[in-house]
Structure 1
């Protein structure tokens, strides 16, 4: 194809031979205008046909997509309505595929949720109704109607159960029957509750369990006792004040149904609320009965109260005087206890004084002074010739050796008497110390002042020291350096004397191979507390007595009164401290620990001012 004269032509050339002689070339040319026009028309038609086919395909796709998506849109719309609270919304899909089956499952779920929601609404309605003060039968009727409609049942009833010995009698309290159903007077109240077939049900009710009934599964003799219209039923026990009162009976005449857990829980809630309402009604009735006589009782009680107020005023005055007297008696009792200990120890020292005095008197009685007097009388008889008497007379010759021997005896006798007199003086001095110690504490009774605990322990040990020595008890001191504290010296001494005396008593009751020992300690506990402990290796305490021993009247001694450790614990508590006992058991000793706050009297005065 070559252009010719500005036009597209189809040219064909071939050589021209004749008799072997090439004469030239023959050229044939064909115009392509009609061909090009035909091609253009073909292209135009083909493009139009393609566009038409594309449009038709798009239209068909849209129609088919709409057919596929519409069931999903219907299901989505139904889901949105349910999510917004419209539980009656359903997805009407008839696509005959998986989407239709999914829509059916959704509709079943929505119906289940609606049924449960209706039952829950009926429970809420029951709760509101049972809290009102209206007529009981009317309220029960409304609740039964609402619950029966919500559960989609045919009949709902409340049956009251009465127990007479071993017989059980049922009485219909209230009944609701769905529209279109004929009410029967003989329902569950006509059932033979005392029969052997019903015993498993009775046992379940008394245990608070729900019973579901499907008559078709029961023995024929048992089934004949029931209402023949019942296809399924559920019986919920009603409990009032812990006792089985009756039954809520829900019957379905239309279908055999499996009662779900949500339905059981809801019906149990209704039965519980009914029981609570009945119990509340009983209480309200009792209150109304009591109210009838309340005014008279109020008048009588008011008169009694007026008399009691007058008596109370008198008692307050007497109590104030008694409290003052009690404080004085408490102080006197504490001082009396200390004084008793002091007198006891003074008596022990006086026994030693009596022994020393008896020894001195015995030595004086046994003295050879009479022999000296006789010798002096013999010398007076020979006063004129003493020298010759001493030199030549046999008796006179024994005078000087006898005087030497008598002088040695008098010297020995004097030394013994002086030793006893020194011991006597020591005992008297000990008595003076004990009395002086008691007097020093008696003067400060009730006064809070700075005290040194180590010195107080020394004073307590000094008071009881004669008893320790007499029983072979060794006292060990372990005093840590601690600051003075603010406390009542009288109370602390009372506690320490009691603890030391108890430790001595515990050691008297046993034989200890390693020796009887009391160990007293003073320690700091943290920054704000100080502890004093009295430890012995004596009789010990059983675990059950470690706290009981501080109770009033508790004692382990045959002649004890059970007041000592109790008063000590009270005194420790009054000072802001505590008293406790520790022991590993009988025969393993015991430790009593007094814990006191670390306060100074000057600080307490500042707080008070």
Structure 2
């Protein structure tokens, strides 16, 4: 179809109508201002006055600017005083008209300047601005209405009305109105489904096609699918409009990629904005049985396809179907569908931005709520800690005053009687001295407990690992507490289930005695007379297990969370019937964790409690070769420890939650510049590193070269890795990789496999 022909309108009008048309050209010139040029026959007469003397029957109005040009030519018919007019929008036709003017005027210099400028406009802006064209066409239609022409036919029967041209003009106006409707919806609404549904319905009605759909790509990028020839579906039909119910629906239909792979780089052509018109699918796709069969099943005889490209990525396709017959697609229909696709791309982009803003807003609000809750919890914790410290100081004043009063009082009594020259009986003196000694030991025990806890809090306690006998240590602890148990009429028992050949164990024997001492003394303290306290000892693989069971008063379920907190006692100060600083179990828990062990408690009120401690066998060789300055940090780290180097807070938070829920200990590092030193200090089993970290390969190579970190496994996070990439990465110290977005089950599988392999290699080294 010739574009120039669709840009020319020929009519016969009255002189009044011609004057109104000239006024329209004047209005458009004033609308564009200084950028526009308006030429009439009057301008031609001013250039060459001799032309005015001739009977110049052809009149014209020529308007052109960078965004809009239009030419009106009117030839007066003397027999009926009507004008035969031509309205032209085609820039090349207008340029030819200017050339003719320059020849007739005899002044080529002035007109040629206009011709040159028009040529520049043709290169820079080959077509009119759609908004200006729409405005002009609507004004033109108001002047050339059928009613006016109908009256003109009655007055001048010889006037010939060009019905096809009138229909073409009306179609153009309808098209521009529909475009304006879509643009208006995009500007006024951010509801993407409403925009797309309305657009599909209106465009189908305008094009008079049987079915119009939007096919949206939802998996990998089209280019990547084309390279990989993926068997997965590219996408699906998300919106549809049908002319009638007899046309089958293809909503939610997915098409297999194999049907399209024979078309070379078809998605790249769409991404560049190509509009494809297929008049007969049987002929166009005759070489692809798969595609022809797919279209035949869906009753597609002809189709017109326009891309929807968002941010230079192919988002989807706008597809018009003729279902029962072939169809020739006009150039105006191609342009129209392409314009609709461009405007829908704008709407989609706006909706995506709006969704991102809403997501950020919701995330921000959630974070504000979380931070507010954290501040509230911190305030409550601070208030609770302040109250606990006050209670602790009150308890300590009582705990210290009682033995001090005894020491001062009894020693003063001995002094008093020695000054008077009359001595107390030897038995009495021994009783007083024994009470002074017991009170002194009690004071020393309280002070040591406070000092030990302070040192543990400050991280100044190191383990002095030695080899010792579990049976001998257990017996020694019970022996030290036997007198106290006997005085309170408590049955103290030992149940040692360790075979002699497995009796040797590596740990800090002094700290282990301290752990058992606190647990047993606590059990004796809260067990009534004639009760029983049992210490059980056995080994499980590489762990030593210690259980302290009593038949005491028990602990209620709501008090269990406070059991190992510092400065906590489960009785109020006024109701206290037992002494203590409230630090014993908190100190015990920290000593257990210093050995990388665990402590658990089960209790029933009125029946008793059961404390279970599990300690791993410490590697004597490893501690021997590890600098003392690093033991302090490493002893608190379990073998299932992981270091994560990730800058994205959301990704890091997700991974930390997943790994922590799977009982891994995770340390998150943001700054990669100090990562090597931190990992060398923590010595984890696994390091997870994001590929986007600038010095990721330097970190992996360095860790594999250092003697203390070469056994650490390295897991790489990446958006995409090919087989060629993996060959290069494996040579850079990477043990495995995981693709983003993170899939929880894959993350846990990869981490478990790497940690298990690391533990197996360590066990093999110990056996050697």
Question: Structure 1 length as normaliser, TM-score?
Answer: 0.31
Q: Which has the larger radius of gyration?
A: 1
Larger relative contact order (Cα-Cα within 8 Å, sequence gap ≥ 6): 1
